[in-house]
Structure 1
Amino acid sequence: MQFKFSLSSWQLIAWTTGLGLSLPLCFLIFESLQSDPEVFAHLWDTVLWDYINNTVLLIIGVAFLSCLIALPLGWLVAYCDFPAKKQFEWALMLPLAMPTYLIAYVYTDLFDYAGPVQIALRDYFGWQSPEDYWFFDIRTLGGATVMIALVLYPYLFLIFKTALKEQSHKLVHAAQIMGHSPTKSFFTVSLPLARGAIAAAIALISMEAMADFATVSYFAVSTLTTAVYDTWFGYYSLTAAAKISGIMLLILFVAIVVERYSRRNQAVYERQTQLSNEPLYMLSGTKAWAATAFASFILLIAFVIPVAVLLEYAVDYFDKAWNNEFFVYAWHSLKISAVVSLVTILLSIVVVYSQRLAPSKLSLWPGRLGSTGYALPGTVLAIAVLLPLTTVEDYLNQWLESSSWQPGLFLSGTLFAIIFAYVVRFYAIAHGSIESSFSRISPNLDMASQSMGRSPRQTLTSVHIPILRRGILTAALLVFIECMKELPAALLLRPFNFETLATHVFQYVSDEQLELASVAAVFIVVVGLIPLYFINRSMEHKH
């Protein structure tokens, strides 16, 4: 019996992309299973359990605090009418533009013993020394939890708010008819119906919290993320670092499995086709101003105060911060971000278009494989990328050992490592946006183009690309901004004497001299506001 197997060039490129982008994860899993009796055993017997404990506590704390902040805010904005509601609907997402290490530095500077808050307290009460009073220490696991939650809560706020607006108001009206108070309706109707959306947002927040390196490193809180960094730079053991990375992936996998198992029998069928702006509760008097005060307080501490402090630094230290280093590092960041955005967009278009040409369950796998890198924290991603790159370099250098030319670290020691790592990590963002945009294009357009004798490539360039322009721009912006802010992978993979804006700012943060890089810090925040503007515009169009 003879089997025929044909594979088009589109599918070949798609599978090559999917397998190539999933290669670092495969190498990481393989390397984590190798024996390393000395380094990893030493870590296991001494500090590793403390790292695991701190990581789990950080994830739980950030998720819990994000819920305390985002769920009430999402419910107020989606269902209630109160002063400045429309402004808060977009303003409460602004903290996403703030890197966690910047907000951590700002509040450390404000609340430290030599900071303005404690100085004012000592002057007012006449205290002379630290023994005269108690003041909380922000540089702790609890402080890191608060800092990270203030930056990440907008994920849950945006997703929960959208889920509530998509729910049928009939269910809430029914709860009102039954005499349920707004609070009881929130817990018995709104939360259960939005459980899937909440779980997805918490999973995203948990991944981001576990991936955070800068804040926990600055606060000297030992987590698995810092353990990977310290193991690589302290022991130079890729195997031990891979094993720690494997533990992080296992924690993520268990959390996702438990969450999905817990709602395996849950199904929600009633949805509105469009987002609703009609308020269900008209707040007035004390309740209305309490809602405004709560939203204002969160926005103030999560965005306004940090940005105001950074702007003050930038003005006061402008002559020192506005220098050639800023322009050089800004060019490095812009160049890498632009290249990664272009590569991820092109690869995503090819992979998604191959699915459209030959739709099947099998055709979905290249995209799924290529998107696995998004779950990898930056430090883990760096180790995962180094493994295949150094393997290729070792084999090639051994093969050319007898020749006069030795390529050396031509992959892991160059910009290729950073670009490849960023493509692996952020491909999922581009793929999701492009796939969503493609799904809104009618198949009739494809058939009409084919009937006119156009090839798949001509159909893509002349029919689909013009329609996809908005989705492509959105995807490119999201990838671009994520690349601008990415820190741990850049710290581990950058070539010698190469800095990006993120690494440049973090170096000054680590040295307690953020003022000297304040212009670069403000630039990162301002650039981070761009995708939030487009997201808000997109939400307004849906309304």
Structure 2
Amino acid sequence: MNSAIAAQSKRRLPRHPLATLFVVVIAAAALTPIFALFFFAFKSDTENWRHLLAYVLPYAVQQTLLLLAGVAIITTLLGVGSAWLVTAFRFPGRDIFNWLLALPLALPSYIVAYIYVALLDAAGPVQTSIRTWGHFATPRDYWFPEVKSLPGAIVVLSLVLYPYVYLPVRAMFATQSATLLEVARTLGASRWRLVRDVALPLARPALAVGLSLALLETLNDIGASEYLGVQTLTISIYTTWLNRNSLPAAAQIACVMLIVVAILIALERYGRRKRRFAISERQTRIVAPIEIVGGRRWLATLACLLPVVFGFLLPAGFLAYQTVLRGLLSGFDPELFTHFISSVVLAGSATAIALAIGLGLALVARFAPSRTVTTGLTLAGLGYAVPGTVLALGLLSPLVGIDEMINWVSRLFGGKGVGLLVAGSGAAIVIAYVVRFLTIAIGSMQAGLGRISPRVDDAARTLGAGYPEVARVVHLPMLRPALGAAALLIFVDCLKELPATLLLRPLNVETLPTYIYQFATRGDFEEGALAALMIVAAGIYPVIRMTRLADRSFGTQTSN
């Protein structure tokens, strides 16, 4: 059946050379920063390598691997545990926790790090209260966990990133066959064995995807790791490039970091190997949640409440409190409005370009599929796997090369040089955003087109419509939900992005993340509370919408 459809598709759909060329050009553009990075790294003096191997890389790699391992463990426990609770059981607050557990995604990790340092540091309210109540003279008189440490970074990042595991695993749990689980119960499987031996193995592909995303975001982080004193590879790139003014050495560290990224992607593929599950169209009965009775129902509520409180409610409440306490609304900083406009313009421009390119690539894959197109789409979507710091470093040489070409053409026609027209403007940030988040647009458009039957295309073609007309009249109206969801996610991700923005922003240009970062580096993060609250507010609606769409798509029952 599938082979017959494939054969029919091959006869029906053209191999348009321009469409294939479009995909190849986009894939090559997305890979250019990586190629430039390796070229620049291996072209430089080998003395840098010896210095890095002796003094920088061993400690940075160790800290990075320990950070990734800790985040992997905690995000898995929080994400899988909460997903199983809200899917398999009924308890007080379950319906609310369905979407509350996803809200930490609206908070940038660096903002959460700043907040917990302000709360838990020696001068913060928590330790001040301990000294007052315990009659301690100095922090040396008692023990308190150090938040500015590797364990502190692991906990803080996990509180923000566990929804990457929670959302896909919850969706997979919600669509598992009730019959399969009932058979396991009939055979005497306990609830623990039901999770360990049946539900979790079936959800392993979703767990692998979600965990890989969480770890890639951990690698991309710069604000939280730097503020919490963890010398990761990302921080090493940043300090080597800017503080030590050694671009070749930074490129070499970035190459090592790309190897770590490649290992993470390989592990994600390994986690999903030979694990393809489909829901039978004839089997519509999904798992019915079990009512928890007695004191354990409140334990389930508490287990879901804790990550929500510490991952979202407490940080968001702190930001709101500081905004009111410091009079940031009444004494509104006019420059903040300028930074807000800069953030919106940059994020909006990148979102529009990414959606246009993603839609074009997805339509080419539908109208003119081939092995080249499939490979090109895969390569074009690799930008999300490249940390923002590495991406910014890799974009520097190509963007400067484009500027040199523009200046050469300008002088050729008798004009003056225009300077760094691309590399020295907001265009560099927009390009970095597009390369990094293009995969969201591609995935969303392909998922949306996948829900449109090929028979609709056949009917339109039979009536004489060309492929552009089919896309404009048929596909675009049906893709509006997918376009809207992708636009919201890309816009919020661009709005939160710190590493690439910090390294590529023009002089005297600030965005909301860099505005907050400047206060944090001066030890006065609270003055940026209103800007942080604006970022959080912008991210809440997309997260809730994404959760609701998942509920409707998978038929999750959330009513008590």
TM range (shorter): over 0.9
Which residue of 294, 298, 307 maps to 1:298?
307
> What corresponds to 2:298 in structure 1?
289
Query: Counterparts of 2:290 and 2:67 in 1: how far apart (Å)?
Result: 35
Inter-CA distance 272–219: structure 2 relative to 1 (3 Å threshold): farther
> What corresponds to 1:121 in structure 2?
130
TM-score for both structures, normalised by structure 1: 0.94
Which residue of 234, 238, 244 maps to 1:229?
238
Aligned AA for 2:388? G
> What corresponds to 2:141 in structure 1?
132
Residue 272 of structure 1, CA deviation: 7.0
> What corresponds to 2:393 in structure 1?
383
> What corresponds to 1:52 in structure 2?
61
8 Å CA contact retained: 1:80, 1:282? yes
> What corresponds to 2:345 in structure 1?
335
Query: Counterparts of 1:318 and 1:487 in 2: how far apart (Å)?
Result: 26
8 Å CA contact retained: 1:33, 1:243? yes
**Percent identity of paired positions between Structure 1 and Structure 2:** 34
> What corresponds to 1:434 in structure 2?
445
> What corresponds to 2:269 in structure 1?
260
Query: Counterparts of 1:274 and 1:291 in 2: how far apart (Å)?
Result: 29
Residue 481 of structure 1, CA deviation: 0.6
> What corresponds to 1:459 in structure 2?
470
Query: Counterparts of 1:116 and 1:192 in 2: how far apart (Å)?
Result: 44
8 Å CA contact retained: 1:108, 1:138? yes
Residue 505 of structure 1, CA deviation: 1.0
Which residue of 364, 368, 375 maps to 1:365?
375
> What corresponds to 1:90 in structure 2?
99
Single out whichever of 252-261 and 188-197 deviates more from structure 2: 252-261
Query: Counterparts of 2:272 and 2:99 in 1: how far apart (Å)?
Result: 30
Aligned AA for 1:163? M
> What corresponds to 1:445 in structure 2?
456
Aligned residues: 539
> What corresponds to 1:23 in structure 2?
32
**Residue pairs, 1:177-192, within 5 angstroms:** 177-192=186-201
Query: Counterparts of 2:485 and 2:193 in 1: how far apart (Å)?
Result: 39
> What corresponds to 2:6 in structure 1?
none
Which residue of 498, 501, 523 maps to 1:490?
501
8 Å CA contact retained: 2:68, 2:215? yes
8 Å CA contact retained: 1:317, 1:518? no
Query: Counterparts of 2:433 and 2:72 in 1: how far apart (Å)?
Result: 26
Aligned AA for 2:482? G
Which residue of 71, 81, 87 maps to 1:78?
87
Query: Counterparts of 1:85 and 1:277 in 2: how far apart (Å)?
Result: 18
> What corresponds to 2:489 in structure 1?
478
Query: Counterparts of 1:404 and 1:444 in 2: how far apart (Å)?
Result: 56
8 Å CA contact retained: 1:166, 1:275? no
Inter-CA distance 237–251: structure 2 relative to 1 (3 Å threshold): same
**Residue pairs, 1:106-117, within 5 angstroms:** 106-117=115-126
Q: What RMSD in Å do the two structures reach over aligned CA positions?
A: 2.2
Query: Counterparts of 1:277 and 1:127 in 2: how far apart (Å)?
Result: 57
> What corresponds to 1:151 in structure 2?
160
Inter-CA distance 392–149: structure 2 relative to 1 (3 Å threshold): same
Residue 335 of structure 1, CA deviation: 0.6
8 Å CA contact retained: 1:382, 1:492? yes
Residue 209 of structure 1, CA deviation: 0.8
Single out whichever of 474-483 and 395-404 deviates more from structure 2: 395-404
Aligned AA for 2:186? I
Query: Counterparts of 1:67 and 1:21 in 2: how far apart (Å)?
Result: 31
Query: Counterparts of 1:376 and 1:410 in 2: how far apart (Å)?
Result: 25
Correspondence 1:504 to 2:543: no
8 Å CA contact retained: 1:39, 1:237? no
Correspondence 1:219 to 2:219: no
- SS of residue matched to 1:47: helix
Query: Counterparts of 1:485 and 1:33 in 2: how far apart (Å)?
Result: 32
- SS of residue matched to 1:412: coil
Which residue of 332, 351, 361 maps to 1:351?
361
**Residue pairs, 1:5-16, within 5 angstroms:** 7-16=16-25
Unaligned residue ranges in structure 2 (runs of 5+): 1-13, 556-560
Residue 94 of structure 1, CA deviation: 0.5
Residue 400 of structure 1, CA deviation: 7.5
> What corresponds to 2:254 in structure 1?
245
Query: Counterparts of 1:179 and 1:270 in 2: how far apart (Å)?
Result: 25
Inter-CA distance 313–509: structure 2 relative to 1 (3 Å threshold): same
TM-score for both structures, normalised by structure 2: 0.91
Query: Counterparts of 2:537 and 2:15 in 1: how far apart (Å)?
Result: 49
Query: Counterparts of 2:191 and 2:15 in 1: how far apart (Å)?
Result: 60
- SS of residue matched to 1:38: helix
Single out whichever of 303-312 and 21-30 deviates more from structure 2: 21-30
Residue 516 of structure 1, CA deviation: 1.6
Q: Deviations over 1:251-299 (max 9, x none)?
A: 1212332453466455546667788665343211111110001111221
- SS of residue matched to 2:46: coil
Aligned AA for 1:430? A
8 Å CA contact retained: 2:212, 2:265? yes
> What corresponds to 1:310 in structure 2?
319
Query: Counterparts of 2:403 and 2:111 in 1: how far apart (Å)?
Result: 37
Query: Counterparts of 1:436 and 1:263 in 2: how far apart (Å)?
Result: 19
Query: Counterparts of 2:453 and 2:179 in 1: how far apart (Å)?
Result: 32
Inter-CA distance 269–307: structure 2 relative to 1 (3 Å threshold): closer
8 Å CA contact retained: 2:204, 2:271? no
8 Å CA contact retained: 1:373, 1:424? yes
Query: Counterparts of 2:268 and 2:499 in 1: how far apart (Å)?
Result: 28
Aligned AA for 1:283? I
> What corresponds to 2:177 in structure 1?
168
Residue 15 of structure 1, CA deviation: 2.6
Aligned AA for 2:396? L
Residue 14 of structure 1, CA deviation: 2.9
Query: Counterparts of 1:273 and 1:343 in 2: how far apart (Å)?
Result: 41
Query: Counterparts of 2:279 and 2:540 in 1: how far apart (Å)?
Result: 34
Residue 399 of structure 1, CA deviation: 8.0
